[in-house]
Structure 1
Amino acid sequence: MASTEVDTIDTGWVREDPEAPSARFGWSGTAPRTYAIAAFISGLIMFGMLAGNHVGRVEDIWLIVIGVVLIGYAAFKMRPRKNAWKRA
């Protein structure tokens, strides 16, 4: 009969649970640069949607506001940070 115990994997740095996706390749974290690039491209797409068959201006206002917010988020995430390497 198979055992139901879960062994830990030694990644060299920290013993992690084998159920964690990072246990196989030793990486755990987010990709803020990828998110910033996706937000910038999405913001440009929002501005591209301004050329359409709108009758009113409410849609245009929403597209502009969302596009500016997305591009602002991308600019905030991509700015250089002071002491970025000293995080704990």
Structure 2
Amino acid sequence: MSEQTHRERIATDHPATERVNQPGREEAVLRADAHPVEHEQPEDWGWHGETGKWGRIGAVIAILFTLSFLVGNHEGNIENYWIIGIVAGMVLIMLLDWRRRRNAWRSK
């Protein structure tokens, strides 16, 4: 079925609908009693930005907790290498965040 035929069928089958072009979305069929979907801001869902000081404290706690896995009854060192690599990645992320906040126009 072609696009034009499809549009005509929708228009005749559902007279209480209209076609709506939404930015960044496909064309939609809208019922008469509804309104088109608008762009939702992150603030609408309660997310306003960074986790702040408590997020950084939580990251330090997570690093210390992960380092505690080095103490154990395992015999091989492969586990230790993975743990140290994961902790190094976490520390790198924290250092990059520290540098970004320090050089930001408005640090949080």
Q: Secondary structure at the match of 2:102?
A: coil
Using structure 2 for the length normalisation, give the TM-score. Answer: 0.49
Q: Is 2:105 the counterpart of 1:68?
A: no
Q: Secondary structure at the match of 1:70?
A: helix
- Determine what percentage of the aligned residue pairs are the same residue: 26
C-alpha root-mean-square deviation of aligned residues, in Å?
A: 3.2
Stretches of structure 1 lacking an aligned partner (at least 5 in a row): 9-16
Aligned to 1:31: 50
Q: Which has the higher helix share?
A: 2
Which of 40, 57, 60 aligns to 2:77? It is 57
Tell me how many residue pairs correspond in the alignment: 74
Displaced runs of 4 or more, over 3 A: 32-39
Using structure 1 for the length normalisation, give the TM-score. Answer: 0.57
Stretches of structure 2 lacking an aligned partner (at least 5 in a row): 1-30
Higher relative contact order (CA 8 A, sep 6+): 1
